[in-house]
Amino acid sequence: MSLKEIRRAIDILDSEILHLLNHRMELALMAKKFKSEIQDNSREKEVLDKIRRNSTGLIHGELTEKIYIEIIKEGKKLQQNEFGLIAFMGEHGAYGEVAARKWNRDLIPIPCGEFAEVFDGVQSGLYEYGIVPVENTLGGAVSQVNQLLINTELNVVGAVELPINLCLVAPAGTDHREILTIYSHPQALSQCRQFLARNKLEPVQYHDTAGAAKMLAEKRPKRAAAIASKLSAELYNLEIIKENIEDLERNMTRFLVLSREKNGEEGNKCSVIFSTEHKAGTLFSILELFAKENINLTRIESIPNEPGDYAFFLDFEGSKKENRVAVALKEAKKLSTHFKLLGCYKERKVA
């Protein structure tokens, strides 16, 4: 190995260490949910004893112990603050995290491996909020999320409409002319189909856009790049080769914010979910109720619930405190076999 290669390997390790430390602090904040007191002497002793036993190699045990004493001290300091946690699906740098930051910068974004983990974590009280995508202007409804919404007891307390600006990212120093393979989530790859074909790049599906960026930074496969967010490039020290590579200019994803608690502030938009009998005209009768009250519908989506059964999602402008909305909701409930007001909330449109 040359000095340049050794230093590059050190830079990669340093980046991984920082990400692992950040993850440890996230776990410390999550652990607080299960503790009656921050100070736990027996647990600290257990951790430090294990560190002493496992201190081998070039690092002296005393140094390792000092480092961990400081790490534990920082974790306790974070636990003393009243941080709220908001869960999203994917690795750090995912568009869910971007949306979470746009909705409330005071919350700490926590990554989850599956959408179900977001729902379950909020329901159990592990996270104060969760943020999930429900629809994209190019890809349509996010079916997995909408199916989870059908039976959830959670409330919708906010929404974010986020422009999805896709970036081609690669490790610093990568010659863009040598790139052959592009890793990313299938939806991101499909949204850049023309760009990939035009540049004769081979798409390779990955579970998450940010996960692809993270993998690229850690494993550095040859002649490869990823399609991910600008935030992913910043977090994983990647170079942005080209921004806004999506095929269509208007590429928006709408995210809903979930909470166990109902929204405390008056909203200007509402979401409901309902089912109807299998009779001709029942869906039209419900939609007609909103039309009579001059309520502007912004989304209607049908999602398979059980074999032969569909649930309908309806979003509209207005507040449940308005008389016209209250009337429409009351009458719609009478015509439904299942009806739930998911929530009234304020929606933020990010420019």
Q: Any idea what the Cα angle at residue 315 is, between residues 314 and 319, rounded to 5°?
A: 125
Choose the catalytic residue: 253, 274, 312, 316.
253
255 has catalytic annotation: yes
Angle between helices 41-54 and 61-80 (to 10 degrees): 150
Cα 286 from Cα 233, distance rounded (Å): 46
Output the six-digit token pair for 302.
Answer: 């049908």
Any long-range contacts for 334-337 (C-beta under 8 Å, 24+ apart)? 335/276, 335/282, 335/285, 335/286, 335/289, 336/274, 336/275, 336/276, 336/286, 337/275, 337/276, 337/277
Residue 209 annotated to the active site: no
- Parallel, antiparallel or unpaired: strands 155-163 and 252-259: antiparallel
Show Cβ contacts of residue 70 under 8 Å, excluding neighbours closer than 6 positions.
none
Phi-psi region at 226: left, alpha or beta (left = phi > 0; alpha = psi -120 to 50): beta
- Which residue shows structure tokens 């750090």? 92
Catalytic residue, from 195, 255, 274, 316: name it: 255
Only one residue has tokens 């995508």, namely 133
The three-point CA angle 51-53-59 to 5° equals: 65
Positions marked catalytic: 253, 255
